[in-house]
Amino acid sequence: MEREKIVIFDTTLRDGEQSPGASLTTQEKVEIAHQLARLNVDVIEAGFPISSRDDFEAVGRISQEVQGPIICGLARAVEKDIDRCWEAVKYAAKPRIHTFIGTSDIHLKGQLRKTRDEVLKMAVSAVQQAKSMCKDVEFSPMDASRTDPQYLYDVIEATIEAGATVINIPDTVGYAVPDRFGKLIGDIKGNVPNIGQVVLSVHCHDDLGMAVANTLFAIKNGARQVECTINGVGERAGNTALEEVVMAVRTRQDYFHLTTGVKTREIFTTSRLVSRLMGISVSPNKAVVGSNAFAHSSGIHQDGVLKERSTFEIMRPEDVGIKESQIVLTARSGRHALRHRLGELGYHLSGEQLNKTYERFLAVADKKKEIFDEDLIAIVEDEIHEVPEKYHLEYLHTSSGTGTVPTATVRIRIDDEVVQEAAWGDGPVDATYKAINKVTKIEAQLDEYSIKAVTSGTEALGEVTVKLKDNDRTVVGRGASTDIIEASAKAYIDGINKLVVRRRLRGDQ
Ligand code: KIV
Ligand code: ZN
């Protein structure tokens, strides 16, 4: 069955750009417009040409350069605005003029200081003027959701008569509630005789967090154009989020029986571009595009998703352009999630190795909120090395500080015996290495010592690498811990264990 299409009207560059602090350069607007074309939106509202020279220039450039969508400019219902708007959009293959005027009594009395009759006449003559230049004209009775319904019907009927092709119903201040807003759309359809000649559109604001819900109710009641912005940016609390409406319609086709032309795989790229250029970060828990939108953290959810992802995922991350769902390894993760991630990293552990690694993983996860791949590699390499361990560090204590002689005490298991030694040195690592030398009685030449934080933050896992030289051979020892002295001791002992194996292979002791 062919599904009816919802027209996606993107106003990121106009209403979205009205977000406090979000101003964009002309070049940035053009870049976003190209990406919106790749996303395959139907209409790009490129700006408000009369509002500034920059806006005029940006709308002009987008009209000339961006192919595919209708390019629309905004104009108040006044002559000079409409002229300026046409000057900017006229280059587009498919231009549109969008003109508006407030129609609620609150706006009429409080801002316009005009009668209903005067405003109706202004709306009609604005549409007529726009229509004389451009065949595609959109009209918005601003603050429609707070406008007297009968007056609203009259204005809509008259502006359609004057040539409007799209009638947009704005919930300008985000005051509407879903079922009443849906009913308003149904009532407009039922009470405006010529409404069938136009596309009925909605434009919602999110002041009470209901922009998307109001939009979806409007669609359910017959609206066929949705005005929205990427990431829901816009004046005050923002506008309807494009990605949420598009994915709701797509995911719940069983309910909406509608479609959009949006290439959903471009959603994530578009979201990040807009966020970066506007300097407005996307909250991690933002629906569809937040960094946590496809991240599973609880052990039960991770287990479910790994067995069958529909258990805890209603959308596929790749459908919105995110590579894959993320299993976030935390102290709440189970063995299943750990084994899965290690497998992806190329480590296929036996049951016993996995148990050891899991214990170590939990110990680190208790200290760190999230375990990254680099942490895992360091843990597994440290835990599952193939070298037989002649020496194993059981205990380490160091003391150092300004005005103190650095000392270290180590307790090392050698096969079945435990040996303890203490030493002082030039620093805690030097003292530790000297104490280890006393136990192992192996004086290896320390050729290189390096330390790196494998993840960021003060609680990062440190990985120490040492190169020990024995005659003409060099071995590399590695150790990882959130305590860098412990990581240093482990790396040194790992190197010594390797030296022991080498010596045994060469036949000397
Ligand atoms: O919110 C609003 O009413 C608007 C109009 C210009 C459509 O942005
Ligand atoms: Zn708006």
Task: Please tell me the predicted confidence (pLDDT) of residue 500.
Answer: 80
Nearest CA to ligand 1 atom 4: 172
72 C-alpha to center of ligand 2: Å? 14
Task: Please tell me the predicted confidence (pLDDT) of residue 386.
Answer: 55
* Length reported for the chain: 509
Whether residue 427 contacts residue 406, with contact meaning beta carbons closer than 8 Å, is answered with yes
Whether residue 62 contacts residue 25, with contact meaning beta carbons closer than 8 Å, is answered with no
> pLDDT per position in the chain (509 positions), as tens?
789 999 999 999 999 999 988 889 999 999 999 999 999 999 999 999 999 999 999 999 999 999 999 999 999 999 999 999 999 999 999 999 999 999 999 999 999 999 999 999 999 999 999 999 999 999 999 999 999 999 999 999 999 999 999 999 999 999 999 999 999 999 999 999 999 999 999 999 999 999 999 999 999 999 999 999 999 999 999 999 999 999 999 999 999 999 999 999 999 999 999 998 999 989 989 999 998 899 888 888 988 988 988 999 999 999 999 877 778 898 889 999 999 888 877 677 888 889 989 998 998 888 877 787 767 877 876 776 655 678 999 999 999 888 889 999 999 999 889 999 999 999 999 999 999 999 999 877 898 898 988 766 666 788 898 888 877 666 778 888 889 999 999 999 988 987 886 676 554 54
Query: What residue type is assigned to position 486 of the chain?
Result: E
Task: Please tell me the predicted confidence (pLDDT) of residue 388.
Answer: 63
Ligand 1 atom having least distance to the Cα of 170: 3
Query: What residue type is assigned to position 270 of the chain?
Result: T
108 vs 123: CA distance, rounded Å: 13
Which superfamily does 4-278 belong to?
A: Aldolase class I (3.20.20.70)
Q: Which of 71, 21, 77 is nearest to 50 (CA)?
A: 77
Q: Which of 457, 497, 485 is nearest to 375 (CA)?
A: 457
Q: Which of 9, 13, 72, 142 to mutate to test ligand 1, by most ligand atoms within 8 A of the CB atom?
A: 142
Own/partner pairs, 148-151, CB within 8 angstroms, 24+ separation: 148/104, 148/105, 149/184, 149/187, 149/191, 151/103, 151/116
β-pair type (295-296, 326-327):
parallel
389 vs 477: CA distance, rounded Å: 12
Task: Please tell me the predicted confidence (pLDDT) of residue 372.
Answer: 79
4-278 and 391-505 agree in CATH topology: no
288 vs 262: CA distance, rounded Å: 14
Tell me the three-class secondary structure of 205-245, residue by residue: ECCCCCHHHHHHHHHHCCCCEEEEEHHHCCCCCCECEHHHH
Residue 78: how many other CB atoms lie within 10 Å: 16
140 C-alpha to center of ligand 1: Å? 7
Report the DSSP beta bridge partners of residue 204. 171
Ligand 1 atom having least distance to the Cα of 140: 7
Whether residue 347 contacts residue 338, with contact meaning beta carbons closer than 8 Å, is answered with no
CA angle 381, 383, 384 (to 5 degrees): 70
3-state class (DSSP) for residue 128: helix
Task: Please tell me the predicted confidence (pLDDT) of residue 476.
Answer: 74
Task: Please tell me the predicted confidence (pLDDT) of residue 371.
Answer: 85
Task: Please tell me the predicted confidence (pLDDT) of residue 473.
Answer: 66
Q: Which of 169, 255, 258, 259 is nearest to 214 (CA)?
A: 169
Task: Please tell me the predicted confidence (pLDDT) of residue 458.
Answer: 66
Nearest CA to ligand 1 atom 8: 15
Whether residue 71 contacts residue 92, with contact meaning beta carbons closer than 8 Å, is answered with yes
Question: Which fold, 391-505?
Answer: Double Stranded RNA Binding Domain (3.30.160)
Whether residue 462 contacts residue 480, with contact meaning beta carbons closer than 8 Å, is answered with yes
Task: Please tell me the predicted confidence (pLDDT) of residue 509.
Answer: 42
Q: Which of 311, 338, 313, 334 is nearest to 324 (CA)?
A: 313
Q: Where are the domains of the chain?
A: 4-278, 295-383, 391-505
Nearest CA to ligand 1 atom 5: 142
| DSSP label at residue 461 | P
